Amino acid sequence: MNRMTIRGAEYPVKKIFSDDFVFTIPRYQRAYAWTTEESEELLHDLMKAIGEPKDKNKDSVEDLAPYFLGSIVLIKGDAPDAQIIDGQQRITTLTMLLAALRSMIKSEYVDSLTAFLCEKGNVITGTPTRYRLRVRESDVPFFQKYIQDESGIERLKQVKDDEIKSESQRNMRDNTLGFVNALQTLREDYLTALTQFIINRCFLVIVAVDAPEIDSAYRIFSVLNSRGLDLSYSDILKAEIINELPLAQQDEYAKKWEEKEILLSSEAFEDLFYNLRAIFARGRLRKGLVEEFHQYVYPGPREKKLTPQQFIDECLVRYADATNYILKANFQRRGAEKEAAVINTMFKWLNKLDYNRWMPPVLYYFFEHWKESAELVRFLTDLERLIVYFVMCRVPPFKRMDRYCLLLEAIYRGDNLYVANSPLQLTSSECRELLRGLEGNLYLAHHICKYILLRLDEKLSEGVASYEYQSVTIEHVLPQRPAPESEWLRHFPSRDMRDRYVHRLGNLVLLSRGKNTQAENFDFERKKRDYFSSAGGVSPFVITTQVIRHMQWTPTIIEQRQEELLKAAKSLWRL
């Protein structure tokens, strides 16, 4: 058995970005995920630490208190080569900050700063020119060209959104240019002092693990994760699964894994592993994710044990593609374009509901039945009805999860999902409970009121309405607080009467604009003309245009409209 040794020491930045270290980020690591929020916080903390020394020269900077930047965990022996196990976000961001500083300070300092980003080759020693940090393989060309190279920042300023190939590259661009924008407001002497402070007075603790075998990476991940450090479960599983492959296949399968990680956002990719566990286990999480993932998914039960290749090819890749279709509502199927459009519309509606708790049953059903368009539409339609009930009636999350697990089990067994006792269907009492919620003060159900109005609007428009507006607001026809002596008090003279109608479905409309507190109290005729209408005296929402056509607004009209909209809701959700 190979012996593993662990060493820890504190190093200044000038030592970390020196010939003693050549950092690489292994394939199994997550993508670069820091946003401008984290990078701006780092720069702000550094500037706060340096303060405003009177004389910004190196001697005064050396007198400043040292600043601790955190810790980094490496797989590293005596050679400079160092694989970053934990801390890649910090090292990558520091590299970007040094590159931004290099683009801002005096030309005589440029070579000195470049030395911290790139080790110059030496013919005598046989050392090649190499960058101090090599990011994940898919981002290497971008990072070298636009950040590490000496003229990279100027090229980076010209990079357009459609040239960005991944979320990690977008973060790299935004964070680096964020540094540039912040630094260009500073005095030249301050920039020099800040650079000297980072290089000389900022420290990191390096924990170096001398691990002869790469399979120790998983053990390191597991230990770090149990200590609460910033590691994702997908990272842990990737380290293990990729390492179980033959060496000749590791790059190929790591690339497949990374492509799906890039296809989805970091959060969605992490959620995929929870969803896979739920699909295969068909029960609530009882233990740790990694433990149950091994038990149910990979390698799974003995009779259905997956190889690493099978898991990546047949499970991860295909379920990641299915997740992408669902979250982005971009499913396509040749020869069934109309059906695919209906399916994508249902995906769009579901993505507005219940924080994606419904994803496991939708993902599983779509995975198994994506070729059966009519059945898929039927399933999604009934599931949306169930979710609307969950959200409208505030069913506790654990009860929702139990119902979703029952539905997963029913899908697995091939049960008829459309019989009365199916977990997909609402019971008669659940239908009555949902209907009571729709009949009451719907506006006070802020968590779903807009969704219901939009769905009813689509129903009334017979599916031809479009909802790609930057802002959609809910407005009351009868105001919540009508002005004294206003026309509203003629039809709604008492507070009790106003309270009876103001928040009900029949008194609500949709607008494709922000709220206007003054316009809310206009009399009805002016409100229709100046607030509810767009060009031509109509609204993009059918549900609002119906109101504009009325000559007056009375309790009788609200009652009639309430009945009409409830009738549409009963038809839409079979209540």
- Write out 524-570 in H/E/C secondary structure: HHHHHHHHHCCHHHCCCCHHHHHHHCCCCCCHHHHHHHHHHHHHHHH
Stretch 473-494: mean pLDDT: 89
At residue 229, the pLDDT reads 44
How far apart CA 335 and CA 454 sit, in angstroms, is: 30
At residue 215, the pLDDT reads 47
- Dihedral angle sign, alpha carbons of residues 523, 524, 526, 528: positive
Bridge partners for 72 per DSSP: 206
Stretch 239-258: mean pLDDT: 88
At residue 225, the pLDDT reads 52
Stretch 473-495: mean pLDDT: 89
Comparing 166-170, 321-325, 511-515, the range with the smallest average pLDDT is 511-515
Tell me which of 229 and 220 has the higher pLDDT: 220
Residue 554: band (very low, low, confident or very high) from pLDDT cuts 50, 70, 90: very high
At residue 29, the pLDDT reads 72
At residue 513, the pLDDT reads 75
| Residue 470: C-alpha distances to residues 18, 368, 411, 512 (Å) | 49, 35, 38, 8
**202-210/5-12 β-pairing:** antiparallel
Mean pLDDT in the chain? 87
Residue 518 has pLDDT above 80, yes or no: no
- List pLDDT tens digits, range 272-306: 999 999 999 999 988 888 889 999 999 998 888 99
At residue 390, the pLDDT reads 96
Angle between helix 317-328 and 337-350 (nearest 10): 80
Highest mean pLDDT, choosing among 208-212, 228-232, 281-285: 281-285
Residue 239: band (very low, low, confident or very high) from pLDDT cuts 50, 70, 90: confident
- List pLDDT tens digits, range 355-405: 889 999 999 999 999 999 999 999 999 999 999 999 999 999 999 999 999
At residue 406, the pLDDT reads 97
Tell me which of 323 and 532 has the higher pLDDT: 323
- List pLDDT tens digits, range 249-268: 988 998 899 899 989 988 89
Q: Which runs of E-coded beta strand occur in 132-221?
A: 133-134, 202-210
Highest mean pLDDT, choosing among 258-272, 417-431, 447-461: 417-431
Tell me which of 449 and 485 has the higher pLDDT: 449
Q: How many CA atoms lie within 13 A of 187 on its CB side?
A: 7
How far apart CA 195 and CA 301 sit, in angstroms, is: 56
At residue 100, the pLDDT reads 94
Q: Please state whether the predicted TM-score (pTM) of the whole model is above 0.85.
A: no
What letter would DSSP give residue 446? T
